[in-house]
Structure 1
Amino acid sequence: MKKKIRSVICIMIVSMMALSACGSKSTGSNNKASEDSTVAENKENGNSAEGIFDESGVSEEGQFPIVKDRIELTVMVPSSTSIQDITTNDFTQWYEDKTNIKINWIVVPAESLTDKVNISLSSGDMPDIYLDCNITQTQQSVYGSQGAFLPLNDYIEKYGAVYKDIASQINGLNEVMTMSDGKIYALPYVEKCVHCENSSKMWVNKRWLDNLNMEIPTTVEEFENMLIAFKEQDPNGNGIADEIPMLSFEGGWHSDALSGWLSNPFVYTSPDDNYVYLNEGKIELAYMQDGWKDAMKWLNSLYKAGLYYDQSLIMNNDQARQVATAEDGTALVGCFPNGVPSAVPGDAAEQWQDYIAISPIEGEAGRYATYAPYNQINPTKFVITSACKYPEAAFRWGVEQYNKDIWFMKAFGQEGTGWVRITPGEGDIPADAVDLNTGAPSEVATFADGIGWGEEQNYCWRGIGLRCDTPDASSYRYNQYQIGDYESNMEYRLAFDTRDNMNPYNPDINMCLPPLVYDEVQATEMANSQSVILSYVKETAARFITGDLDAEADWDAYLKELEVKGVKNLKDIYQAAYDAKYK
């Protein structure tokens, strides 16, 4: 979730802007000054002298300009509602001057990006670089082996010390990026959203617990006792038996019964990985384990007892909100699974502030949070094609974007305008201001000009391009300041509840499925079977929970039907893809 801060430290910003003499935020007025500064810097470092460019005409990593003689590269990129015109964008002009590389942009409507990329690949009419074009790893493997995408291994060795350093600090990054042929065909975008790694949460009304003098539950039995108390003891205090102990809804962010939190006490469940997990390097399907059966039996018992709202398996988010609050504003829901606390009660802080994300509960399988350790790695961002005449320069044009000063300008604009340096305890900045991802003292305030992440501007690229924004490689980012507190700002609630209540229960990373890459045959077979099998799993789970099927008596028939639908072949494909890439 992007941090869309609107700074209230106007006096500090104005003074810093005056001191730094930074100009317009959306025109090209700074370009000449930036260019002069870059030229001066290059001369001071000897970058413009003869002999600093190698046989490919490219300077050393970290040195600018990248090429002595100006070149042009063609880059395909999706349109963005937050960028007025990337061809005239201030950062575009600044980076062209700094690198001495002119970009000819092919801007593709975001809604037709996949079709345009596929047409480009199949026709062979490719740009030099696909940037932010969601080139899947299966495409990287297929087209890389055919020579359409260039392997980056040699360029990484010669110009990519920064990539190697980042990869050494981020668990699994190199393994994710390396294809089964040993080659790397893309550079990743890395951005850690700590709470997104544990987004299968259970939000519980803490006010209700306090009203009933109950402790936060830590086991399956204690959780069930909490639901019973919510149903029978009038925790909202209105004298009416109108409480809904627990509900879920379909179509939200980990909002349903199979989102992981409710089934993890019985079997480790990761819906984002299609309910696949690893057991000592072997693929396991959660929905075929006895623990899945036990989870279905437990959920059915809650459903029959009126502890689990009977419309949960068929209603959507809007319908959930309609039953969550009485007309006088009284809360009616005790708990619900979701990635954020606002999903059911409402978006205003006063609506969601009573809900906290509690720790996983312990059951027969242990006490696990659903964990997505590879969530921060986007491996589809930057690919160089065989059409490129200057691959060394193209690689450096991409890899240099990991520099934190460059990517901060790329994401937020000029220092002093789009972002400012701060010191906790000075001016309007609280002494305890910390970065929510790291817990370290804040160093910068972003969106200092009041223009949010998704709002249109023309001085930076926002999320386009490469960056490394993760506490796992902290030297590549600045610690950011988030206005607000635990009671009023959802980012605080998400950050602290995740850190304190979820992180301690993350399973070993070796249990978590890394991204898999499939060959053409495997991808075709999966297209015919995976969706059918998962639809059947979800449909049958709903019938187990409601009692339309008996999870004990009908379990063998359920497993047999999975076999008929090709589950063994699907599991074999998963295993083959995992073995090819990670063993």
Structure 2
Amino acid sequence: MKKIISLLMAILMVGTALSGCGEKTTPAKEDTKQEASKPAETSKTENTEQKKEDGVMAMFNHTGYPILNEKETFDIYVEQLSPVVAANDKEVVKKGIADTNVDTNFIEVASSSWKEKINILFSTSDLPDAILGDLSVEEKYTQLYPLDEFLTEEIAPNIVKFFNSRPEYWEMLKAPDGHIYSLPTGDETYWNAIDSQMFINENWLKAVGKEVPKNAAELREVLEAFKNGDPNGNGDTADEVPMTFRGVWGWGDGMENALAAFGVFESSSHVMTKDGTVKFAAQQDEYFEALQFFAELYKDGLLDTEVFTHSQDQYKAKLAEEVDKYGVVITYDKQDKTRTWLPLLLADKNGNITVGLNNIEHVDGFSITKACKNPGALVRWYDYCNKDLETIMAWNRGVKDEAWRVPEGKEGMVEFLNDPEIQKAKGANNREELRRMQSFAGKSPAYFNLSYQDKIFSNQPKKLKPLLNQEVIDKGYGVKALPLGFASKENSEQRVLMLADIDNYLNKFVATSIVNGIDQKGWEDHLKTLEKLKVNEYVKLCQEFVDNQKK
């Protein structure tokens, strides 16, 4: 009898062991790989605890390659980058599988429906192994696997080396519970430090005999000269528009940083954080002064009359190179072949320069769910993607000698290519399209951080935009709206709800104040409206978020 019982127990143990070795289940996919078989009675989420019993640290090779002795499939949701080349068909993906035995099965989701599909996905119990894309970690971290135990010099040497060189990442990546659930992806670049930048037409300055203005008063003098001096030289003194922009805030074209001539700026969050203290921009007296200044410019015909009404396409057409009607423009970048545009940084009455600065770091990119049975292997795979410059370029830019190359005699450097013949041969219309066909571009698990900026070789003069942005950062002109990091779900949700009404009000208020003018009574009425919108409560929530980032 004892022998029979022992035999039955042995059979059960073998069955249990075998059940943990089967191919991973695959949720419904929009693209590519053959769907794996899925046991009808068991989901991956239900098997989550098994990995704890088996010991996740023993399920992968901690050093060297391959990461896994036997190939194992991992389902990863990713935003679709190219309708022409599927993610799983890209050379870099195939090489990654061959090198690591981490069989990444990318499940692509259209960009237009990404947020909706991810939210629906996380409302179910059948999650993929990982997400490569925006996720809102602060809302979903309870369904993600904490990565802290894998972020060691042995398991993830490349990640740890980078984080140690930039210690702020260790803090920024922490979720409200103090654990790390995501790793950065895409590009960290000076290009993105400032969205809306003022540029002034140097050709027009020379035509009217003026220097680059250094403050608001000098700006007005220059704009008046532009209006009356026929700087485009066509004999028509009425066709010049001294200054233009599009709206109050928004990516690239808004007037948000033009307010900085008075020591304030606008942003999508409407706050400024300096020395750890949060202030609501539109509550400051300097904001009132800025509105009065721009109202005077509007009244005197020094501003484009369509600054609050033209569409993005209409504004883009106005900034086209063949159009020579504008003296000061606000845009993401402005470089023409026929004219020279200079960046415009205006000091306030105290001589201080303030520029609203973006968070160029990334914290929400690659996350592993609790459904993953072997999270350590995926952390090592991410570390593999970041192991050296050429691997990073392959994941982030595309195929070597087609999208980029190592320039002759410049070992350790890379050069971006822009060859129309190569692009055409590969079925792409331009460089960016080729990049999205061959790599993961801005969604790349290989993080092109600032340390690689000095590794880019070019025979061309350095672009003005990133140099300007770096100068703003290095000289301490930049002020951020809010620091980067994860708020608690409650804090984040409350701020989002309050912002909707604040946005609607401020858009109308600023436009009306500039077009119709604003006096002291109008300003006092505005402050009362902000009280009704519970702006002080909103600022308190923002301050709470900032304070929590320091802990």
TM-score > 0.5, shorter chain as reference: yes
**Cα separation, 1, equivalents of 2:320 and 2:546:** 46
Deviation at 1:321, TM superposition (A): 5.6
Which of 331, 337, 352 matches 2:330? 337
Q: Which residue of 1 aligns with 2:119?
A: 118
**Cα separation, 2, equivalents of 1:68 and 1:444:** 36
Given the alignment of the two structures, is residue 223 of structure 1 paired with residue 225 of structure 2, yes or no? no
**Cα separation, 2, equivalents of 1:485 and 1:189:** 28
Given the alignment of the two structures, is residue 525 of structure 1 paired with residue 494 of structure 2, yes or no? yes
**Cα separation, 2, equivalents of 1:197 and 1:181:** 29
* Counterpart contact for 2:186–2:446, Cα < 8 Å: yes
Unpaired runs of 5+ residues, structure 2, are: 1-54
Cα RMSD (Å): 3.0
**Cα separation, 2, equivalents of 1:189 and 1:325:** 33
Per the alignment, in what secondary structure is the counterpart of residue 123 of structure 2?
helix
Given the alignment of the two structures, is residue 543 of structure 1 paired with residue 512 of structure 2, yes or no? yes
Alignment: residue pair count: 485
Deviation at 1:106, TM superposition (A): 2.2
**Cα separation, 1, equivalents of 2:341 and 2:356:** 20
Alignment of 1:342-361 (within 5 A): 349-350=336-337, 353-361=339-347
Q: Aligned letter for 2:415?
A: V
* Counterpart contact for 1:218–1:362, Cα < 8 Å: no
Q: Which residue of 2 aligns with 1:282?
A: 277
Alignment of 1:195-206 (within 5 A): 195-206=191-202
**CA deviation vs aligned residue, 1:300-352 (integer Å, no higher than 9, x gap):** 121122212222222224434666689xx56221111111226xxxxxx446x
Q: Aligned letter for 1:398?
A: Y
**Cα separation, 2, equivalents of 1:240 and 1:248:** 23
TM (normalized to structure 1)?
0.76
* Counterpart contact for 2:188–2:449, Cα < 8 Å: yes
TM (normalized to structure 2)?
0.80
Q: Label 1:194 to 1:241 Cα distance change in 2 as closer, same or farther (>3 A).
A: same
Which of 461, 467, 477 matches 2:446? 467
* Counterpart contact for 2:82–2:437, Cα < 8 Å: no
* Counterpart contact for 1:74–1:104, Cα < 8 Å: yes
**Cα separation, 2, equivalents of 1:280 and 1:499:** 20
**CA deviation vs aligned residue, 1:153-192 (integer Å, no higher than 9, x gap):** 1110252232222123336322221123221100112523
Q: Which residue of 1 aligns with 2:136?
A: 136
Deviation at 1:125, TM superposition (A): 1.2
Alignment of 1:221-260 (within 5 A): 221-242=217-238, 243-250=240-247, 253-257=251-255, 259-260=256-257
Q: Which residue of 2 aligns with 1:444?
A: 415
**Cα separation, 2, equivalents of 1:278 and 1:341:** 28
Per the alignment, in what secondary structure is the counterpart of residue 380 of structure 1?
coil
Given the alignment of the two structures, is residue 454 of structure 1 paired with residue 433 of structure 2, yes or no? yes
**CA deviation vs aligned residue, 1:83-132 (integer Å, no higher than 9, x gap):** 61222322221111100122233222222111211111111210011112
**Cα separation, 1, equivalents of 2:75 and 2:150:** 19
**Cα separation, 2, equivalents of 1:340 and 1:306:** 25
Q: Label 1:415 to 1:523 Cα distance change in 2 as closer, same or farther (>3 A).
A: closer
Q: Which residue of 2 aligns with 1:80?
A: 81
Q: Label 1:469 to 1:360 Cα distance change in 2 as closer, same or farther (>3 A).
A: farther
* Counterpart contact for 2:271–2:279, Cα < 8 Å: yes
Per the alignment, in what secondary structure is the counterpart of residue 268 of structure 1?
coil
**CA deviation vs aligned residue, 1:228-251 (integer Å, no higher than 9, x gap):** 111122222223222211122238
Deviation at 1:571, TM superposition (A): 1.3
Q: Label 1:519 to 1:341 Cα distance change in 2 as closer, same or farther (>3 A).
A: same
Deviation at 1:203, TM superposition (A): 1.3
Q: Aligned letter for 1:386?
A: K
**Cα separation, 2, equivalents of 1:55 and 1:384:** 15
Please identify, of 360-369 and 150-159, the stretch whose mean Cα deviation from structure 2 is larger: 360-369
* Counterpart contact for 1:266–1:364, Cα < 8 Å: no
Which of 386, 392, 402 matches 2:376? 392
Q: Which residue of 2 aligns with 1:41?
A: none
Q: Which residue of 1 aligns with 2:352?
A: 366
* Counterpart contact for 1:296–1:551, Cα < 8 Å: no
Percentage of pairs with the same residue? 19
* Counterpart contact for 2:185–2:443, Cα < 8 Å: no
Unpaired runs of 5+ residues, structure 1, are: 1-52, 343-348, 427-439, 487-491
Q: Which residue of 1 aligns with 2:547?
A: 579
Q: Label 1:561 to 1:323 Cα distance change in 2 as closer, same or farther (>3 A).
A: same
* Counterpart contact for 1:82–1:453, Cα < 8 Å: no
Please identify, of 393-402 and 187-196, the stretch whose mean Cα deviation from structure 2 is larger: 187-196
Alignment of 1:397-546 (within 5 A): 397-403=381-387, 404-423=389-408, 443-446=414-417, 449-450=422-423, 452-455=431-434, 459-471=438-450, 473-474=451-452, 479-482=455-458, 484-485=460-461, 492-499=463-470, 502-503=472-473, 505-507=475-477, 513-546=482-515
